[in-house]
Amino acid sequence: MVNALNLFSGCGGCSLGLKQAGFSVKLAAEIDAKTRETYCQNLGSDGIWSVDLSEVTPEEILERSRLNPSQLNLIVGGPPCQGFSSAGTKDWGDPRNSLLKKFVEIVIRLKPTWFILENVEGLLTSLEGFFIVEAIARFLEAGYWIRVQKIYMESYGLPQKRKRVL
């Protein structure tokens, strides 16, 4: 079994895709109650965790998943993006940006085989790319190989022109 953790899980779209691809999503972490409710309606309540990820350690996340480190294959997450969204303030000091740093810390400390970080296109350009450069530098120092790709959602049949960064 290929095991995954879904951080900032939202209503479950990523978890659904992971399950369809053969992954076992052991933990889905989401702070927002209404969003968790939708997740549960879509995928059931097994493994959903009501948590503010800024307030827990990576080790607590792993413990909650009931996996040991060697069983953790994938961490996915889309930390809140308002701070570097084109509609946001693009401010490194924006508290919402601290969750990007937390995602990086979680991946580095838990050492999954793979990780996927998903976010808005502004992650590449805010403060001349400062956010993404910082994250990449830390992942490279931890021994990960990195591929950054801009995805055009309309290319995947979605009726929108949103661009996302993986």
The one catalytic residue among 11, 14, 40, 81: 81
Tell me whether residue 14 is one of the annotated catalytic residues.
Answer: no
**Sheet (strand 2-7) strand order:** 48-50, 23-30, 2-7, 74-77, 114-117
Write down the residue that tokens 């040991």 correspond to. 68
Catalytic residue numbers read 81
